[in-house]
A and B are shown apart, each in its own frame.
Chain A
């Protein structure tokens, strides 16, 4: 009998096939699927990403205590908006509100607007409701609720952190220009989002 040169490869393919786990329709099932699904959720919408980064940018631009207060306020208020979305409570103009958040927050950074902290917190909180509502309404019913929510909130926080990290460049003159330019770019992107929403 002549031993085939393809035998090892064939055996490898058979073993790999036999050991493969079944694929499921709802990737949200289970801890890893739920967390990864939730973690990826905020990244799927550029409008969400732009607004989250703008929150961090503005917080860093305003300095303490806004730098940490806004990222603390945002998830809590966003969760309240998420509750409305999950329960199906009607909220008009959600997409417009999300696009407006990118425009307004981007402009705040671009124009270096420094309102009182309470006004900044209320503004960010108001937009957080729209973002939370949108995410809440889109939560897949088959997902592991806890893992999905944790992943989703952590991703949102990391986007804020990305904005804060970039916003810290505002300590230097050249960095300040770069941060304000980023704010302008976010505001322009918001205009595009708004034109798509209306």
Chain B
């Protein structure tokens, strides 16, 4: 096989395009790692965790809302493991729009409202993550991965945000919050079309 042929063959496979899926994070990746990647690669979930991370990162007290998010997430995942179904997509979007708007306005609401938003983010993310697995064991692994992935994502975003203290960095955070709120509002409207 000539060198030209090998290079051509490699190029042909490099340019081969795979179709993208709307909800499966990565085709063929299931179980724990599929769940781990789910909150990061499903766009609506990514918006939700980033919005919450930005929101928590701007608060003085970060442990309570983070814990409330984790508890609500795990409670929701337990519920969905018991085949509880709830159409929460729009609730998640509305919550995301609210969180993004609060970040954009740089307004810290009363603490109980922040806790409520964190709880809604956790519960809706869990209830919108039905495991796409064949066996119960794999489904449970996927749910465990989702719990870890979502908590890690929120923790990382909030930690990074808490370190962004210069004026320009805080403006960037507000702009990001504005973009997230605008995206969530548009998607929310599209669901009513």
Is A29 at the interface (CB under 8 A from chain B)?
Answer: yes
Among the 9-residue stretches B5-13, B115-123, B137-145, B151-159, the one with 4 or more Cβ atoms under 8 Å from chain A is: B5-13
Is B183 at the interface (CB under 8 A from chain A)?
Answer: yes
Among the 9-residue stretches B15-23, B52-60, B63-71, B75-83, the one with 4 or more Cβ atoms under 8 Å from chain A is: B15-23
Q: Are B193 and A68 in contact (CB under 8 A)?
A: no
- Interface SS, A side: helix
Residues in chain A near residue B4, CB distance under 8 A: 8
Q: Are B189 and A86 in contact (CB under 8 A)?
A: yes
CA distance A145 to B47 in the complex (A): 13
A137 CB to nearest chain B CB (Å): 10
| Complex partner residue of A153 from B1, B20, B22, B179, CB under 8 angstroms | B179
Q: Are B43 and A147 in contact (CB under 8 A)?
A: yes
Residues in chain A near residue B2, CB distance under 8 A: 8
Q: Are A87 and B192 in contact (CB under 8 A)?
A: yes
Q: Are B13 and A153 in contact (CB under 8 A)?
A: no
CA distance A136 to B188 in the complex (A): 12
Q: Are A31 and B175 in contact (CB under 8 A)?
A: no
Total contacts A-B at CB 8 Å? 124
CA distance A176 to B15 in the complex (A): 46
A79 and B175 contact, Cβ closer than 8 Å, known pairs A12-B9, A21-B16, A30-B21: no
| Complex partner residue of B22 from A30, A71, A73, CB under 8 angstroms | A30
CA distance A73 to B182 in the complex (A): 10
Is A119 at the interface (CB under 8 A from chain B)?
Answer: no
Q: Mark A21-62, 1 if CB is under 8 A from B, else 0.
A: 110100001111111000000000000000000000000000
Residues in chain B near residue A181, CB distance under 8 A: none
A80 and B193 contact, Cβ closer than 8 Å, known pairs A68-B171, A144-B43, A150-B43: no
Q: Are B183 and A153 in contact (CB under 8 A)?
A: yes
Is A20 at the interface (CB under 8 A from chain B)?
Answer: yes
In this complex, what residue of B is CB-closest to A36?
Answer: B20
CA distance A85 to B44 in the complex (A): 21
| Complex partner residue of B186 from A24, A31, A149, A157, CB under 8 angstroms | A149
Number of interface residues, chain A, beta carbon within 8 A: 45
Is B136 at the interface (CB under 8 A from chain A)?
Answer: no
Chain B 160-182 interface residues, beta-carbon cutoff 8 Å to A:
171, 174-175, 178-179, 181-182
Q: Are A82 and B19 in contact (CB under 8 A)?
A: no
CA distance A32 to B8 in the complex (A): 26
Among B9, B20, B174, the most chain A Cβ lie within 10 Å of the Cβ of B20
CA distance A72 to B171 in the complex (A): 9
Is B191 at the interface (CB under 8 A from chain A)?
Answer: yes
Q: Are B179 and A75 in contact (CB under 8 A)?
A: yes
CA distance A193 to B8 in the complex (A): 47
Q: Are B189 and A146 in contact (CB under 8 A)?
A: no
Q: Are B182 and A75 in contact (CB under 8 A)?
A: yes
In this complex, what residue of A is CB-closest to B4?
Answer: A8
In this complex, what residue of A is CB-closest to B100?
Answer: A76
B105 CB to nearest chain A CB (Å): 8
| Complex partner residue of B190 from A72, A86, A150, CB under 8 angstroms | A86
B1 CB to nearest chain A CB (Å): 7
CA distance A34 to B2 in the complex (A): 40
Is A15 at the interface (CB under 8 A from chain B)?
Answer: yes
CB-defined A-B contacts under 8 Å, sample of 22: A15-B9, A19-B13, A19-B16, A21-B18, A29-B22, A31-B22, A68-B174, A71-B178, A72-B175, A75-B181, A76-B178, A76-B185, A83-B185, A83-B186, A83-B188, A87-B192, A88-B193, A136-B189, A139-B186, A141-B193, A145-B191, A149-B184
Supplied contacts A30-B20, A145-B190, 4 more A-B pairs, CB within 8 Å: A87-B193, A152-B183, A153-B183, A157-B175
